[in-house]
Each structure stands twice: as C-alpha cells, then as structure tokens.
Amino acid sequence: MPIKFQSIKVVIPGVILALVFCLFSQGINNLLAIEIFGTPKSPISTVLIAILLGILMGNAFTPRPGMMIGLDFTQQYILKLGIIFLGIRLSFADFIKFGAIAIPLIIFCIIGVLILIKLLIKKVPISSKMSYLIAIGTSVCGATAIVATAPVINAKKSEVAYAIANITLFGVIAMLIYPYFAEWYFGNESLKAGLFLGTSIHETSQVAAAGLIYDQQFNSPETLNVATVTKLIRNTFLVIMIPLFAFLYNRGEIKGYKYSILNIFPYFVLGFIGMIIVRNLGDQLFSIDSDNYFIWNKFIDYLKMLATVFLTMAMAAVGISINLNELKSMGYKPFIVGLIAAITVGFISLLYIETLSNFLI
C-alpha cells in the first residue's frame, strides 16, 4: 500500500535500519579487504554482504511491524529511486545500442519459458494458474508480474504466495551466483555479462544487485548499465504479457477484472530515461565551461554514489524481509517447475548470446 506523505514518519525507523545495514556492510567490506586479505578490494561485495546480513538478521530476529513498514518502503520506493539514478551513467547512444540487442533476447526468453511451462505441467501436476504465475514471474519481472497477473486469471491467494516464494528463492540464488558465473564464463566481455544478468534473474532489485556486485568486484560499470537497461525493457513487456495471459487463460475474456495499462506500467522506467536525458543535456550544456563542467561531473559522481547506497539499502531490506520458513512451505512440485524454468531462462540467454548476438554485438 502506498505510503502517504503525512505519515512519512512511520517509515523512518525501517529506512534508518536499512541505511545502518548499508553502512555496516561497507565497513565489513573494508575490514575484509584491508585487515584480513590485505587487498584493495574485498572478495565479497558490499551489496552481497548487505543481502546476507539482512537474511541472517531477519531470520534470527523477527522485525517489529512498525519497522517492516519502512523496510517495505525502502524496497518499493528507495529501490526505484536508486534505479532511476543509474540512468545518469548512460548516454542515449548506449541506451539505444543495449536496447536493440536486448529486445530479441527478451522475446526469446519469454517464448522459451512459456513453451517449457506448458510442457512441464503435463509431467508435474500443478494448477494451470500456478504455472502461468511462475511463467510470467520467471520471464518478465518477478513478483510484480505475478501480482499483476493474478486477478486476470483469478488465481487464489495461496497460488500467488507460492509463486512469489518460488520466484524469490530462485531469484536470490541467481543474484548471488550469476555475477561470479558471468565473470567466469564471459571473462571481461561486459556487454554479454550484462545481457545475461538482465535476462536470467527474475526481480528488478535482484538484477540491479547482481549488476552492482559485478561492478564492485570486477570493475565493470558497463555490465551494470547493460543489465539495468535489459531488465527495465523486460519490465515493459508486462504491458503485452498481461492481455496475452488473459487471452490464453480466459480465451479473450477477462472475467471480473478490468485491465488497465496505466495500472501496471513500470513508471520508474520513465524516470530512468529522464535521468539519461538530464545527463546528456548537462554534458552538452556544461562542456563549454571547464569550471561548470567540473561541478557537473561532481554532481554526476554524487548521484552515482547515491544510486549505490540506495540499491544497497534496498537489498538489505529485501534480505531482512526474506522468511526462510515460508520458503520451506512451497512444496516440491512448484519448486521443480520454478527450478527448471529458472535454469531454462538462463540457458536460453546463454544460447542467444553465444549465437545470435555475434551478429549484433
């Protein structure tokens, strides 16, 4: 539920807790690098530390309901603000270039997962509604897609909860493993690594975190940029997929539910594009004056730093909110479907990148 501005004080404790986790994670990162390993950079990124700390603390101690309001706010709004600020890193040329390569890959992944899920439910008996929810959550944008699709197909609350738990589990696993796998598999090919992270991980927050982990550990800002652009374009496919699922499930009749593009469109994508516009206009405007250009670059660096802080706070909040006991209650059948779907979308992504992308990159 959106937080009203007059009630903003209720979110402050949870937001401060997420910020404390962010700062504490950075402190641990510095400690590991300087005191333990004696290297300029820790082998564990700040974002990864924040996630793991959040999961550990969130399951060892039950957060107070009042604290959860601020943590939810951090996951919903501060996360999106961090993603919007990532747009300051990009030029229009990069955005068009990355998007042109990413769109065919996204379409391949969506089609592949839909076909796979259709075949799987004949072998692994779960409800068709559950299969649709897992399919759209895996192929498009995680829990957001599941929640948006549920009313269209009249899914039960238990089916929605199971599908979200499924997506959360495999998305978090991919978020923690794929950055290191991408570096091992693609080496220093940042564009390919970014495409893989942007299409094979479920949630926007998870993709942003994986890209940030890759950037922090392997010094590759382009990988974070490509992953973010790919995922945001992927999110916009929700506008196409919801009516498609309504047609497939209800044969064109959306029973008892009024579909509206305005209700499901990810507006923070527009904010991300707006920040790209700001960056490019600023570069043009201040390039003729060296003093102003210096200040402008400092402002850009400040927004980049804020993006990192906000994303780290969001991932700490995500970690605290993950209840491992709830994940255990999924049951093995949805688990199998979700696991195979997650592996399939990753495999399709790798296959595309290693074949068709050679003609595009």
Q: Which one is predicted more confidently, 249 or 304? A: 304
Task: Assess contact for 197 and 234: CB atoms under 8 A.
Answer: no
Q: What is the mean pLDDT of residues 330-347?
A: 82
Per-residue model confidence (pLDDT) at position 6? 47
pLDDT, one tens digit per residue, over 36-89 is 766 667 777 888 889 889 989 888 887 787 888 999 999 889 999 999 999 998
User: Of 316, 321, 313, whose CA–CA distance to 83 is shortest?
Assistant: 313
User: Of 318, 350, 89, whose CA–CA distance to 204 is shortest?
Assistant: 318
Per-residue model confidence (pLDDT) at position 275? 93
Residue 136's pLDDT band (cuts 50, 70, 90): confident
pLDDT, one tens digit per residue, over 268-315 is 888 999 999 999 998 888 877 777 888 888 999 999 999 999 999 999
Average pLDDT, the chain: 84
pLDDT, one tens digit per residue, over 28-38 is 988 887 777 66
Per-residue model confidence (pLDDT) at position 238? 84
Query: Count of CB atoms within 10 A of residue 201's CB?
Result: 32
What residue segments make up the domains of the chain, in order of their start?
91-307+322-359
- The whole-angstrom separation of Cα 194 and Cα 186 is 10
Q: Is the pLDDT of residue 193 over 90?
A: yes
| Residues 6 or more apart whose Cβ sits within 8 Å of residue 50 | 21, 22, 25, 312, 313, 315, 316, 319
Task: Assess contact for 174 and 347: CB atoms under 8 A.
Answer: no
User: Of 231, 143, 145, whose CA–CA distance to 195 is shortest?
Assistant: 231
Burial of 329 (0-12, 13-18, 19+ CB in 10 A): exposed
